[in-house]
A and B are shown apart, each in its own frame.
Chain A
Amino acid sequence: MAAGVLFPKPHDQVLLALAGFGAAGILAGSFLNRAPNRLANGVATALWHAPPLEAGAAMAGLAALAALAFHPKDKPRSAMTFGAAMLILWGCLSGAGRLASLFALSDPSAARYSLGAAFWILMATALLALLDAAQRANLGLLARAGLIAALGAGFALTANSGAFADLSLAKEFASHRDIFFIELRRHIVLVASAVFFALAISAPLTALVLRRPSARGLVFSGLGILQTIPSIALFGLLMAPLTALSQQFPLLRAWGINGAGAAPAIIALTLYSLLPLTRGFFTGVSEVAADVKDAAAGMGFSARQTFLLVELPLAWPALVSGLRVVTIQAIGLAAVAALIGAGGLGAFVFQGIGQYALDLVLVGAIPIILQALAASFGFQMLLAARRGS
């Protein structure tokens, strides 16, 4: 019992672990790296060199997380965890922005300030604390969407006011602003067309597999083999035959189909999407119980009516989860397509890697991750909305 008095038992070990993780991050890592130019290595600056208001807010938020771990009641703890996490997020973002602006006053204009490990660890700590609080409070999808929208709006407002303008990430973004939106659109077009073509192909494929059980093994193992081939290898292997085809047929060339660029990318992305989609459709439709179909037939439904009014609605969840998997996968693979000249956000990633411009890598990578998360969340909402109605 004595030990219990000296060191009370935490009610939320997760928060305590997170606070420890954040504190270790502050002590070990650099909050902001200050470099004389875009290519040089930076000098690490710790969090406590940031303006005292922001640094204080971040550290207070972290201390609050540790203290909240010992709060006995779930509900108020979740609410206060939310506040503490917001304090950390604001302290980090605003602190990094203002510290960079302070440095910029005395440094030459070529100087760059990039975000360091401590910054990212603190952000991760705050977001995980938010996630934990949302899980414990049993927050519904709609409430989560509201929370995300509020966070996004807050970030956009702060960014718009120029608070981050001196960070090298923002500078890199600003100098690529025009191309950024072009590449973003290209990325979305790549993903959307691949998903569209995959839908158009996997629907008849599913019908075939449902009618002819003997074709099942062949179709699924064939698509499975396609799925395992490394993306860049498949892109590359498609280039040679497409080049040959476009040299043979001028019409294809006139449509802009040739070995490099969007055509092999969309074909490869479509091929990768076939297995998850077809499998999703197949399990969805084939799991509709036989007696349900019998009942529909008994009510005088035609085969077509049964399909449209009974099977399709019942197969909906499996269908949507197939679409979710495929969309997330395509968003990631489309990034690789930049290597064969298809453009998209991957262009920034690989350009940045090639030029050792690491903030340019982030200009590509962060929106790719956000897109994947948004797609995942959107499909979850779609599933939940259906279930609710």
Chain B
Amino acid sequence: MRPDAAAALSAAGRFARRPGLWLFLLLVAAIFLMPSAGILFHALFPDDRHLIYSRATFLELTLAHCQLVALSSLAAAAAGIGLGVFATRESGREFAPVVRAMAAIGQTFPPVAVLALAIPALGYGAPPALAALALYAALPVLEGSITGLDGVPASARDAARGIGFSPFELLWRIELPLAAPFILAGLRTAVIINIGTATIASSAGALSLGSPILEGLSAANPAYVVEGGIIAALLAICVDRGFDWLSELLKQK
């Protein structure tokens, strides 16, 4: 065999051995093939008439779910990293203990309770869900940012200042890259929690993968529950794998 063909083959082999890839393909297959799985559900749940959730396609549900999670996580990342940077600067040092305590205490609040509190304050639908998810998700990011930025060795800071870095360059080129693994870990926790909470947000009127689950539960139709549950579980597992891959990339750099 020619060496480049062998290399390509072994690369393909490595590619195929990534469980994340297979899980992702499984997710895509579940999203698109679920409507044709009627026979399977008929075999599993013989007495129900309407077995495939049809208020929205599974693609629409997945995209709405991802949108909810992505927007809230982006806002949370901006707020969490921003506040973390502020609390580790000279001017914000004084706020560090109270911000840290807030992040720790806030994370003991169950995400469902935060979602529930957002409804009286902001009403029904996607916006309150978005706000609750963002608010909650900011806390682990904030904690990761403070831990990461505080852990930057003084020698690295001094060296950067020594070669004439401005405070912004110091932050952007030294401190943030060194803190990145901790920030990423916080973001990962945040996103995984958000995927779970977004499922529950459908009880407050936001469209998500929780919509078929909740409708199945209230109408005693287990097929809907299984359909939504499988896709939601696969989505969460795939995203978690994605973060695994990202943190490996970060380590290699």
Q: Which residues of A are in contact with B by a Cβ distance under 8 Å?
A: 12-14, 17, 114, 117, 120, 128, 131-132, 135-136, 224-225, 227-234, 236-237, 239-240, 243, 259, 328, 331-333, 335-336, 339-340, 346, 349-350, 352-354, 356, 358-359, 361-362, 364-365, 368-369, 372-373, 375-376
Contacts and interface: CB of A to CB of B under 8 A. Distances in A.
B199 A230 contact: yes
Given A230-B195, A230-B199, A365-B117, A236 B98 contact: no
Contact of A234 (B97, B117, B229): B229
Given A232-B200, A239-B222, A339-B217, A117 B121 contact: yes
A233 B199 contact: yes
Contacts of A259: 222
B214 A339 contact: yes
24 contacts: A131-B105, A135-B97, A224-B240, A228-B239, A229-B233, A230-B236, A232-B196, A236-B217, A237-B233, A239-B225, A240-B44, A331-B110, A332-B110, A332-B111, A332-B112, A333-B112, A335-B110, A339-B217, A350-B203, A354-B203, A358-B120, A361-B120, A372-B113, A376-B108
A331 B113 CA distance: 10
Contacts of B232: 229-230, 232-233
Nearest to B216: A236
A255 B229 CA distance: 27
A228 B188 CA distance: 10
B116 interface: yes
Contact of A240 (B226, B228, B237): B226
A230 B237 CA distance: 10
Interface centre among A14, A117, A335, A365 (most CB of B within 10 A): A365
* B contact residues, range: 35 or more
A228 B101 contact: no
B60 interface: no
B110 A368 contact: yes
Contacts of A362: 116-117, 120
- The 4 closest A-B CB pairs, nearest first, are A332-B110, A230-B196, A236-B225, A233-B229
A336 B198 CA distance: 12
A352 B112 CA distance: 13
A364 B119 CA distance: 13
A12 B232 CA distance: 47
Given A228-B236, A228-B237, A373-B105, A237 B113 contact: no
Contacts, number: 151
Interface in B62-112: 94-95, 97-98, 101-102, 105, 108-112
A236 B213 contact: yes
Given A132-B97, A372-B113, 11 more contacts: A131-B98, A229-B232, A229-B236, A232-B210, A236-B216, A237-B229, A259-B222, A332-B113, A339-B203, A361-B116, A361-B119
Q: Is the interface of B mostly helix, strand, loop or mixed?
A: helix
Nearest to A259: B222
A369 B107 CA distance: 10
B150 to A, nearest CB: 16
Interface centre among B95, B109, B229, B240 (most CB of A within 10 A): B229
Contact of B94 (A13, A239, A332, A364): A13
Interface in B218-249: 222, 225-226, 228-230, 232-233, 236-237, 239-240
Interface string B105-136: 10011111100110111001000000000000
B228 A228 contact: no
Contacts of B113: 332, 335, 349, 365, 368-369, 372
Contacts of A354: 203
B73 to A, nearest CB: 15
Contacts of A14: 94-95, 98
Nearest to B112: A335
Given A240-B44, A362-B120, A233 B213 contact: yes
B27 to A, nearest CB: 13
Contact of A369 (B44, B97, B109): B109
Interface string B191-221: 0100110011001100001100110110000
Nearest to A377: B108
Contacts of B233: 229-230, 233-234, 237
Interface string B31-56: 00000000000001100000000000
Contacts of A358: 119-120
A236 B214 CA distance: 9
Contacts of B124: 356
A162 B176 CA distance: 54
Contacts of A356: 124
B129 to A, nearest CB: 11
